[in-house]
Structure 1
Amino acid sequence: MADLDAIESRELEMDESDMQCEVERAFPYSPQAGLFFNMTHEERIDSDRRSIYVGNVDYGATADELEMYFNGCGHVNRVTIPYNRFTGHPKGFAYIEFSERESVRTAMTLDETLFRGRVIKGKWKSSSMG
């Protein structure tokens, strides 16, 4: 019983990053999708500059729904929805990677719009605009 208490105590102490499990939906028509781990440092920086963080995402949202919502801003390479590995529940945010940097500018117009009944919050790095 003491071991179970120790395990439960350790789980509570874990940093959120330790509990993160990500599910990615790489779109088959994208030549860059699924290649993130084979990228050079410079390629990863470029990928970050073509990506956005979207907060307050409905927990039932799928990668396909997010791709459709943001596809009007430009071609979407990848949608990443982080999940808690212990509960299996989504964390309520996502990352969207576009093919072109200009798509990030266009996606800004969707900040504070309704997606699945929730007002989404977009965050873009200032380096994304460079």
Structure 2
Amino acid sequence: MISIRTNKNKENSTMQGKKLYVGNLDYSVTKDSLNELFSECGDVVEVIVIDGKGFGFVEMSETSEAEKAINDLDGKDFKGRSLKVNEARPKRDNRRDFRRSY
């Protein structure tokens, strides 16, 4: 049996949000440097860099700008690292239901 994996076609995916996950960041990356990079794709609303974790979030003003940022910047070399840019997922609720454990 042969299994073939294919990458999603970025142009055919439908984005629902304007907030992007940005991964594989060099630890020296600042909000200002990320803002400058993503400004090439449109208006940046907010930039959050998680210190010491190598990732952050960028919110664009329009969904079309977020799509452009994914298409233009995903895989791009930035400060010696290949960026991972995709649509941010909703925050997970990691709380456990402790009533079940009794």
User: What residue in structure 2 maps to residue 61 of structure 1?
Assistant: 29
User: What residue in structure 2 maps to residue 8 of structure 1?
Assistant: none
Q: How far apart are residue 94 of structure 1 and its match? A: 0.8
Q: How far apart are residue 81 of structure 1 and its match? A: 1.1
- For the aligned residues, what is the CA RMSD? 1.7
User: What residue in structure 1 maps to residue 84 of structure 2?
Assistant: 121
Task: Measure, in 2, the Cα distance between the counterparts of 1:115 and 1:51.
Answer: 19
Secondary structure of the residue aligned to 2:57 is strand
Q: Structure 2-normalised TM-score?
A: 0.66
| Gap runs ≥5 in structure 1 | 1-47, 84-89
4+ residue segments displaced more than 6 Å: none
Would you tell me which structure has more helix in proportion to its own residues? Answer: 1
- 2:58 matched to 1:96? yes
Contact 2:18–2:87 (Cα < 8 Å) also in 1: no
Q: Structure 1-normalised TM-score?
A: 0.53
| Gap runs ≥5 in structure 2 | 1-15, 90-102
Secondary structure of the residue aligned to 2:75 is coil
What letter corresponds to residue 122 of structure 1 in structure 2? V
What letter corresponds to residue 70 of structure 1 in structure 2? F
Q: Decide whether aligned partners of structure 1 residues 82 and 125 sit closer, same or farther in structure 2, where only a CA change above 3 A counts.
A: closer
Secondary structure of the residue aligned to 2:65 is helix
Kindly tell me the number of residue pairs found equivalent between the two proteins: 73
Task: Measure, in 1, the Cα distance between the counterparts of 2:48 and 2:86.
Answer: 15
Residues 45-64 of structure 1: CA deviation (Å, up to 9, x unaligned): xxx81110010001000000
User: What residue in structure 2 maps to residue 86 of structure 1?
Assistant: none
Secondary structure of the residue aligned to 1:59 is coil
